[in-house]
Amino acid sequence: MDLIVARNREDLVKARGGGEVALVPTMGALHEGHRSLMRLARSRADQVVVSVFVNPLQFGPNEDFSRYPRTFDSDLDVCRAEGVDVVFHPSVDDMYLPDRQVSLLAGRMGEIVEGESRPGHFDGVLTVVLKLFNLVQPSVAVFGQKDAQQLALIRRMVADLDVPVEIVGAPTVREHDGLALSSRNRYLSEDDRQVALALSRALRAGEAERRPGAIREAAREVLAAAGPRLDLDYVVLVDPATFSEVGEEHAGEAVLAVAARIGATRLIDNVILNLNPA
């Protein structure tokens, strides 16, 4: 079957098949990370829908909404190559009514860590994801662990609001040198890219330690050694479900997450650690 491009909600209704649907929400500028999500989606349902929508609600006033990469033609080639059934690519006006009033609040969990640096970001993410769920009506939706707090909040939303969609998390896809793939990597110069490698190096340094204090310290040391071109935002070691900092006696899974600005580009990365009891 040929790829169907649905540019508005009417097209989307027409494109919907009879069986189970797996949804992969994206903002486009698709890369290998997105492709891995599509493959996972393919293994889980009869029809795969990929949404490509740069969501203005999740960008702050000083963020990169207008210059966010938009590469729709090559995104379609990627989706075609991955055997995607439907690409949903609505305009902002088609998604958001001019007189819209109601939106979701992510709550306290949306205000910490990444949410502290990006006020309102997760409210915008949850609002668009719930709208996409209602429009596409998938039984499964696939999200990357690369955006660990987003994944945790979507799981929280689905639980709190009884949303009948199974949430599947997918591992982070990296370049050979460790840099996590991101649509924003294309902003990086070759020099920036070398500095950006400190993020994944810091996570690996943390992985080599056993206790929370030492894990945070090892990661911070690597980031400090990257020099003044890396402007560190945070290094945290948090509970994967709540994103609150774990204590020194924590056992079980924890997420070591980092965010930093390199020039004008803000990058995030994380790794899941399994801490053994003391």
Which position among 21, 23, 26, 87 is part of the footprint of ligand AMP (CB under 6 A)? 26
Is position 172 an interface residue for ligand AMP (rule: CB under 6 A)? Answer: yes
Q: Is 89 a catalytic residue?
A: no
The answer on whether 149 is annotated among ligand-binding residues is: no
Is position 147 an interface residue for ligand AMP (rule: CB under 6 A)? Answer: yes
Question: Which residues are CB-contacts of 32 (< 8 A; sequence separation ≥ 6)?
Answer: 173, 181
Strand order in the sheet with 140-144: 4-6, 86-88, 47-52, 21-26, 140-144, 166-170
Question: Which residues are CB-contacts of 165 (< 8 A; sequence separation ≥ 6)?
Answer: 23, 133, 138, 139, 140, 141, 158
Binding mask 229-268 for ligand AMP (x = CB under 6 A): ----------------------------------------
CA 134, chain centre distance (Å): 20
Contact at 8 Å (CB) between 21 and 137? yes
Q: Distances in Å between the alpha carbon of 256 and those of 129, 157, 216?
A: 25, 22, 8
- Residue 170 Cβ vs ligand AMP, minimum distance, rounded to whole Å: 5
Question: Which residues are CB-contacts of 2 (< 8 A; sequence separation ≥ 6)?
Answer: none
Which position among 47, 51, 149, 182 is part of the footprint of ligand AMP (CB under 6 A)? 182
- Residue 175 Cβ vs ligand AMP, minimum distance, rounded to whole Å: 9
- DSSP H or E run through 260: strand 252-262
Is position 143 an interface residue for ligand AMP (rule: CB under 6 A)? Answer: yes
Considering only residues 104 through 133, tell me which ones interact with ligand AMP, judged by CB under 6 A: none
Output 36 or 265, the one with its CB closest to ligand AMP: 36
Contact at 8 Å (CB) between 47 and 86? yes
Distance in angstroms (rounded) separating the CA atoms of residues 96 and 131: 10
Contact at 8 Å (CB) between 272 and 253? yes
Q: Which of 234, 142, 147, 230 is nearest to 183 (CA)?
A: 147
Output 54 or 222, the one with its CB closest to ligand AMP: 54
Which position among 22, 27, 226, 262 is part of the footprint of ligand AMP (CB under 6 A)? 27
Is position 34 an interface residue for ligand AMP (rule: CB under 6 A)? Answer: yes
Is position 53 an interface residue for ligand AMP (rule: CB under 6 A)? Answer: no
Which position among 47, 51, 149, 183 is part of the footprint of ligand AMP (CB under 6 A)? 183
**Under the rule (CB under 6 A), what is the footprint of ligand AMP?**
26-27, 33-34, 36-37, 143-144, 146-147, 170, 172-173, 180-183
* Binding site listing: 27-34, 58, 144-147, 150, 173, 181-184
Which residues carry out catalysis? 34
